[in-house]
Amino acid sequence: MTRLFDLTGKIALVTGARSGLGQAMALALAAAGADISGLGSSPMPETRRLIEQAGRAFCEVQCDLAQLDDADEVVCGVTHELGPIDILVNCAGIIRRAEISNHAAEAWDEVLDVNLRSLFLLSQAAARSMVAYGRQGRIINVASVLAFQGGIRVAAYAAAKHGVAGLTRAMANELAPAGITVNAIAPGYMMTANTEALRADAQRSSEILGRIPMGRWGAPDDLTTATLFLASPASSYVTGTMVVVDGGWMAR
């Protein structure tokens, strides 16, 4: 049974690995035996330290996903440093809050560029590499419960996450013949930098917690088992799906 979740010898590229959900997902993959490339816009010494303490190799890619021009170059760089990519985790994301009438076009573009455009380009490049090297790879996208809902004051974010859901299914359809699975994890309200403003607002935080049956904000580590399942041989017949990790939010 343990072999079903063994990632020894696998190479994973994780975006947004400096902190929060991305860091937790990268550490989970490393604990299962994968070597990790962490992609972010700034250095991530803590992630490096923790992964190397786990006995795995780590390489860092500094890249502003809002300005991503050559995803193939990113993938080739990781391949040169660690080897061909087996697992891509698209976790990096930003959020900009504003009412519809005041939502700046620049903020819209920034959110869509980071949360959707770069995800597509990296997935496209990773899939090309997986096919070229004969890898039966895994692509894991981080969506959101706002892939199913509209939210409040987060139009660009909701649009991007709806896009992630659709793109996950579209890629799953096309890449399945190559043995590449594409799935998404849809977190609920998690304790990350993106929700700091909500958690600091006593009224809004109370409203959110009142709808979550588990009665708490999610922690980054709550995503680790879903990440391992979707990255491992255990999920070889699972593709095009959304795994919701939300403490019951969508059930209420």
Mean pLDDT calculated for residue range 35-39: 98
pLDDT at 3: 79
pLDDT exceeds cutoff 80 at 45: yes
Angle, vertex CA 203, rays to CA 109 and CA 145, nearest 5? 45
- Concerning whether 133 is annotated as a catalytic residue, the answer is no
- pLDDT for residue 1 is more than 80: no
**Cβ neighbours of residue 113 under 8 Å, at least 6 residues apart?**
65, 66, 67, 68
Q: Cβ(191)–Cβ(236) under 8 Å?
A: no
| pLDDT at residue 93 in the model | 96
Note the pLDDT of residue 182.
98
| Confidence bin at 2 (pLDDT 50/70/90) | low
Q: Rounded to two decimals, what is the model's pTM?
A: 0.96
Decide: residue 240, CB within 10 A, 0-12 exposed, 13-18 middle, 19+ buried: middle
Which whole number is the average pLDDT over 173-177?
98
Percent of the chain with pLDDT over 70: 99
- pLDDT at site 21: 97
Q: Which of 133, 157, 189, 237 is catalytic?
A: 157
Q: What is the mean pLDDT of the chain?
A: 96
Residue 197 scores a pLDDT above 90 = no
Mean pLDDT of 43-49: 97
pLDDT at 145: 97
Q: Where is 13: in which H helix or E strand?
A: strand 11-15
Residue 140: CA atoms inside 13 Å, Cβ hemisphere, count?
Answer: 35
Residues 168-193 have a mean pLDDT of 97
pLDDT of residue 104: 96
Q: What is the pLDDT of residue 125?
A: 98
pLDDT digits (tens, 9 = 90+) for 80-96: 999 999 999 999 999 99
Question: Would you list the domain boundaries of the chain?
Answer: 2-244
Q: Which CATH fold topology does 2-244 show?
A: Rossmann fold (3.40.50)
Q: How far apart are CA 61 and CA 69, in angstroms?
A: 14
Nearest residue to 8 via CA among 37, 39, 38, 29: 29
Q: Residue 92: what pLDDT?
A: 97
Q: What is the pLDDT of residue 58?
A: 98
Whole-number percent of the chain with pLDDT over 90: 93
Residues 99-131 have pLDDT tens digits of 999 999 999 999 999 999 999 999 999 999 999
Report the alpha-carbon distance of residue 183 to residue 167 in Å, rounded. Answer: 10
Q: Flag whether pLDDT at 144 surpasses 60.
A: yes
Q: Residue 40 above 60 pLDDT? A: yes
Residue 77 backbone class (left: φ over 0; alpha: ψ -120 to 50; beta: rest): alpha
